[in-house]
Amino acid sequence: MANQDDLFKNIISHSKEYGFIFPSSEIYDGLSAVYDYGQYGAELKKNIREYWWKAMVQLNENIVGIDAAIFMHPTTWKASGHVDAFSDPLIDNKDSKKRYRADVLIEDAMTKFEDKINKEVEKAAKRFGETFDAAMYRTTNPRVMEYQKKIDDTNARFKTALENNDMDGLKQIIVDLEVVCPVSGSRNWTEVRQFNLMFSTQLGSVAEDSNTIYLRPETAQGIFVNFLNVQKTGRMKIPFGIAQTGKAFRNEIVARQFIFRMREFEQMEMQFFIRPGTENEWYEKWKATRMNWHKALGIPESKYRFHDHLKLAHYAKAACDIEFEFPFGFKELEGIHSRSDFDLKQHEQFSGKKLQYFDPELNESYVPFVIETSIGLDRMFLATMSYAYKEEKLEDGSERVVLNLPPFLAPIKAAILPLVNKDGLPEKAEEIINILKFEHIITSEEKDSIGKRYRRQDAIGTPYCITVDHQTLTDNTVTIRERDTMKQERVAIDQLSKIIGEKVSMNNVLRKL
Ligand code: ATP
């Protein structure tokens, strides 16, 4: 079995080898942190998006979906706070020319001190045996206390520097901690500077400042600015939601984790507009609802956990992440945020337009509060892939790689395989495809031995392989092989549609929500 690092590497190479994800413009050596979805990736991604859309929009009468433009009026991003505050502190190493996030370097350095403390405690535990009191040791051992003091002091300086936007302060912490570049091993650092993560471009042909616009760094603002349009034209009554999926762009400083952190990615966001004062109730409700959506996929619950944000944005009432256990550890997959009336109020102020709702029950107008759920489609893709990818040893000693994708998400639902490429079997296979293709994405394959073709479909995650043989020509039956159990059964062709339909039904999953 591969270790976690190898596992992640294997998932990346599998994704490429089997047509799920390619580096962007690969013939030119790719573009950093930008990826293209191939023939199977595009299907899987579309199915995940559809699962989200149906769960949000189709199953909830009070949630509607929109499709706002990527370009927005530049003032949008002043109002949202992105022009002033959507930035990360960056630092370069002059020898390796590698760029880092200063905050991440500092956090990593502190983790090293924590590791040192844990090692000391482990050593002592071995030495002292059963009578060892770890808590006592941590507060009395001079070396541990020294490390702990370093962590506490650094944390305090770090917090102050971040709060005051003090880039020199951050640099000084890096110097004092004697942080070295992992690539060059040197301490030859540039100054720290703030780096805004938004991509900008020009609208029209005249390159003046006023024409600078941004590629949206999140889809949410397209929802906020359309709040009244949708509410009025859709006669929406509070509480109601607006959902949207679409591309977002961030010029991430460090983007080295495949599709976990991309510069161009897709978000699936929903803003739920509520009466002020009901935010705690709705926050809890959306936390539970979103977790259920994940659980209905059949991925073990132990792979998910909530992580509450300790440091909240000044406008936020509460915020948490749903974290997923990726091969590189538990990391944010989705954010759930109680955002008060911050965004709508900001847009009121910057646009001079009222963004209020008249509540007929209360007989008063107010700016609604918002609960937001925001998930990255690509991250969800990676979560699904990391769970599904299995290297299995079979009973006969052979090995196979299989993608145990939830069948309703699988890119191809069934592969029709003529046993031999003659005797009228390919034509019979074609007949079956012509029946099934109106309901599902079906493929056929004629090359290689049947065993090899099964393995290939396992690697793509196809739930069923259907083999057409000579008997098929006489009695219209085929063998159907199930991906996970590898069990084979002989069934009549006219049963196929029902068998496959049951197995890959998205509705059956939606009914569990
Ligand atoms: P992180 O802390 O990982 O940078 P974030 O807190 O900035 O993420 P949000 O702004 O809350 O992320 O965005 C909502 C969701 O969008 C995230 O939960 C994640 O799934 C997705 N997302 C954010 N940035 C990226 C990215 N660069 N690449 C892929 N997905 C992303």
pLDDT, tens digit, for every residue of 402-461? Answer: 999 999 999 999 999 999 999 999 999 999 999 999 999 999 999 999 999 999 999 999
Query: Where is pLDDT greater, at 162 or 297?
Result: 297
Judge: domain 87-196, CATH 3.30.40.230. yes
Confidence bin at 510 (pLDDT 50/70/90): very high
Q: How far is the CA of 425 from the centre of ligand 1 (A)?
A: 50
pLDDT for res 2: 58
374 CB near ligand 1 (under 6 Å): yes
Q: How far apart, in whole angstroms, are the C-alpha atoms of residue 362 and residue 212?
A: 43
pLDDT for res 207: 57
335 CB near ligand 1 (under 6 Å): yes
Domain 1-72+208-391's class? alpha beta
Confidence bin at 313 (pLDDT 50/70/90): confident
Confidence bin at 4 (pLDDT 50/70/90): confident
257 CB near ligand 1 (under 6 Å): no
pLDDT for res 283: 97
Confidence bin at 206 (pLDDT 50/70/90): low
Q: What is the mean pLDDT of residues 329-343?
A: 96
253 CB near ligand 1 (under 6 Å): no
Q: Ligand 1, atom 2: nearest CA belongs to which residue?
A: 332
Confidence bin at 360 (pLDDT 50/70/90): very high
Residue 479: is its pLDDT beyond 60?
yes
- Cβ-contact 386, 413 below 8 angstroms: no
- Cβ-contact 367, 358 below 8 angstroms: no
H/E stretch holding 508: helix 506-510
252 CB near ligand 1 (under 6 Å): yes
Q: Ligand 1, atom 26: nearest CA belongs to which residue?
A: 261
Q: Which fold has domain 394-510?
A: Rossmann fold (3.40.50)
Q: Ligand 1, atom 4: nearest CA belongs to which residue?
A: 261
Region of poorest pLDDT, from 85-99, 111-125, 199-213, 498-512: 199-213
Confidence bin at 179 (pLDDT 50/70/90): very high
Query: Where is pLDDT greater, at 393 or 163?
Result: 393
266 CB near ligand 1 (under 6 Å): no
Token reading at 112: 């090293």
Residue 469: is its pLDDT beyond 60?
yes
Bond into 239 cis (ω within 30): yes
pLDDT for res 16: 97
Region of poorest pLDDT, from 161-170, 305-314, 349-358, 477-486: 305-314
pLDDT for res 66: 98
Q: How far apart, in whole angstroms, are the C-alpha atoms of residue 275 and residue 373?
A: 17
Region of poorest pLDDT, from 11-20, 126-135, 357-366, 378-387: 126-135
pLDDT for res 192: 95
Ligand 1: atom nearest CA of 337 is: 11
Report which of 314, 302, 304, 308 is spatially closest to residue 339, judged by C-alpha positions: 314
3-state per-residue secondary structure call for 91-155: EEECCCCCEEEHHHHHHHHHHHHHHHHHHHHHHHHHHHHHHCCHHHHHHHCHHHHHHHHHHHHHH
Q: How far apart, in whole angstroms, are the C-alpha atoms of residue 116 and residue 119?
A: 5
246 CB near ligand 1 (under 6 Å): no
Q: What is the mean pLDDT of residues 498-506?
A: 97
pLDDT for res 34: 96
Residue 304: is its pLDDT beyond 60?
yes
Helix ranges (DSSP H) in 141-278: 142-163, 167-176, 220-224, 227-233
**Ligand 1 probe mutation, 34, 322, 332, most atoms within 8 A of CB:** 332
pLDDT for res 415: 98
Q: What is the mean pLDDT of residues 256-274?
A: 96
Average pLDDT along the chain: 94
Confidence bin at 135 (pLDDT 50/70/90): confident
Ligand 1: atom nearest CA of 374 is: 14
The pTM of this model reads: 0.89
Residue 121: is its pLDDT beyond 60?
yes
Distances (CA, A) of 138 to 109, 119, 133: 20, 12, 9
Confidence bin at 208 (pLDDT 50/70/90): low
CA angle 314, 320, 321 (to 5 degrees): 130
pLDDT for res 210: 62
Ligand 1: atom nearest CA of 331 is: 3
Q: Where are the domains of the chain?
A: 1-72+208-391, 87-196, 394-510
Ligand 1: atom nearest CA of 250 is: 27
Q: How far is the CA of 416 from the centre of ligand 1 (A)?
A: 39
Q: How far apart, in whole angstroms, are the C-alpha atoms of residue 474 and residue 428?
A: 11
